[in-house]
Amino acid sequence: MPGREPRQIPTPAEPPAPASRPHAHVNFDAPASLRKWPSFNNQRRTEGTGPYLLLDGTLDECIREFVAKPAPMRHLYEIHTSSQPPLVADILSGEIVVELARLREFL
Is pLDDT above 70 for 20? Answer: no
Q: Examine residue 15 and state whether it is found in any structural domain, yes or no.
A: no
User: pLDDT tens, 62-100?
Assistant: 999 999 999 999 999 999 999 999 999 999 999 999 999
- Domain around 35: 28-103
Amino acid, res. 75: H
Say how far residue 67 (Cα) sits from the centre of its chain: 13
Structural domain count, the chain: 1
pTM as predicted? 0.75
Q: Examine residue 13 and state whether it is found in any structural domain, yes or no.
A: no
Cα–Cα distance between 9 and 16 in angstroms, integer? 21
Q: pLDDT value at position 22?
A: 53
Q: Examine residue 9 and state whether it is found in any structural domain, yes or no.
A: no
**5 vs 48: which has the higher pLDDT:** 48
Q: Examine residue 39 and state whether it is found in any structural domain, yes or no.
A: yes
User: pLDDT tens, 31-64?
Assistant: 999 999 999 999 999 888 899 999 999 999 999 9
